[in-house]
Amino acid sequence: MSTLRQALLGIALLGALALFIWGQQQRIDLAEVKTERAESAAATAREDATRNLTTANTLTATLQQERDAQGALRAQQDLLRQGLAKRERTIKELKHENAELRDWAAQPLPDAARRLRERPALTGADAYRQWLSDRGAVPIAGDQPAQ
C-alpha cells in the first residue's frame, strides 16, 4: 500500500501544485487587468490635465486682453472727461463774456425739444418697444404744414 499511498500523495501534491499555479495565474491576470485600467485612467487624467491647461492658458490670454481693453477704455474715458471739462470751461467763459449768449442759454427749451428729451422710466426692451410704439410717428419732412 505504500506505493498506492505514495501515488495518491504524488497525485494530491500535483493537484495542489496545479491548483496553486492556477490561483497564481488568476492573480496575475487580475493584476494585469488592474494595471491596464490604471494605465487607461492615467492616460485619461493626462489628457484631461492637458485640456485643462490649454483652457487655463486660453482664459488667461482672454483675461489679459480684456484687462488691456479696459485700460484703453479708461484712458479714452479720461481723455473724454478732460475734453468735456475743457468744453464746459469754454462755455462758462463765453457765457460770462457774452450777455446775449447768457440770456439765450437761460431760456427754457421749446416744447418740441423738451418732448424729445422726456422719457418714462423703462425697465427692459419690451417696455422700451411698447413706449416707442405708443408714440405718434414723426411726420415726413414733405408732409409738414406750412408755417
Give pLDDT tens digits for 21-78: 999 999 999 999 999 999 999 999 999 999 999 999 999 999 999 999 999 999 999 9
Is residue 120 a contact partner of residue 126, using CB atoms and an 8 Å limit?
no
Is 66 contained in some domain? yes
Residue 20 within a domain: yes
For 19, the domain range is 2-78
Cell numbers linked to 111: 416744447
16 lies in some domain: yes
Residue carrying C-alpha cell 422726456: 118
Is pTM, for the whole model, over 0.75?
no
- Residue 123 covered by a domain: no
Alpha helices in 1-147 (DSSP H): 2-97, 99-106, 111-117, 125-134
Higher local confidence (pLDDT), 108 or 144:
108
Provide the terminal-to-terminal Cα distance of the chain, rounded to the nearest Å. Answer: 142
* Residue 48 is assigned to a structural domain of this protein: yes
Compute the C-alpha angle 130/135/136, nearest 5°: 140
43 falls within a domain: yes
Domain count for the chain: 1
* 25 assigned to some structural domain: yes
Whether 13 is covered by a domain: the verdict is: yes
